Amino acid sequence: MSFKLKKIGAALAIFGTMSLCGCGAKLPFTQKTPDLNTTYTVNAEITFDKLKAKAELTRFGESDWEFKFTEPKQLKGLAVQLKPDGYSATLGGLTFSAEENSVYTAAPQLISNAVKLLAAASSDKLSSSDGVLTFSADLNGKRVTVTADERTGDLISLKCPGARLSVNFTEQKPFTPNLTENGGVIVTDEG
């Protein structure tokens, strides 16, 4: 009887080892996709046609973004807001509304819309390789590809050759509201 137990134990050990190493078979579970629908700030190096720019992007919500340009010097200080109720740009004390797909909003719109598609994508629409999630889709007739860190969900890059747009993202961190607003109290919808 002990010989049978040893044989069964050896078979289980071999099966267990094969299951752990993969051996070409899929495990019955998959790694959870990170939440890509969050609020954050991230630095972006943007190439849009011949323009090269740097900006800090803040995603306040699905359709609520702010792009604060830091380079080149012609754009330094320009803040472009994309809100559900419209678009605006601020430079110094001057604020003006901006039209959809205008020179001020074209690149920010492509970026925010591509990230919105990524955040809404089901895990079967994402591919994964070497810890990088990749999502590709057509956006307004142009192919766009967004990559993000598979573990954290941090954005890595965005490419849209049809619009001559390329973005590299760095230093993503969760968005934290300015605590000096509302007397240091964070106001939530819960009351």
Structural domains in the chain, CATH included, are 40-172 (2.50.20.10)
Average pLDDT of span 130-146: 91
pLDDT at 70 over 90: yes
- Quick one: what percent of the chain has pLDDT higher than 70? 74
pLDDT in tens, 31-52: 456 777 889 999 999 999 999 9
Token readout for 65 is 């973004």
Residue 125: is its pLDDT beyond 70?
Answer: yes
pLDDT of res. 25: 36
If one compares 133 and 183, the residue with the highest pLDDT of the two is 133
**Degrees, nearest 5: CA angle 66-101-140:** 105
CA separation, residue 114 to residues 8, 84, 85, 171 (Å): 53, 16, 19, 19
* Residue 181 structure tokens: 């607003």
Q: How confident is the model at residue 15 (pLDDT cuts 50, 70, 90)?
A: very low
Specify the pTM. 0.72
Q: So what's the pLDDT on residue 78?
A: 92
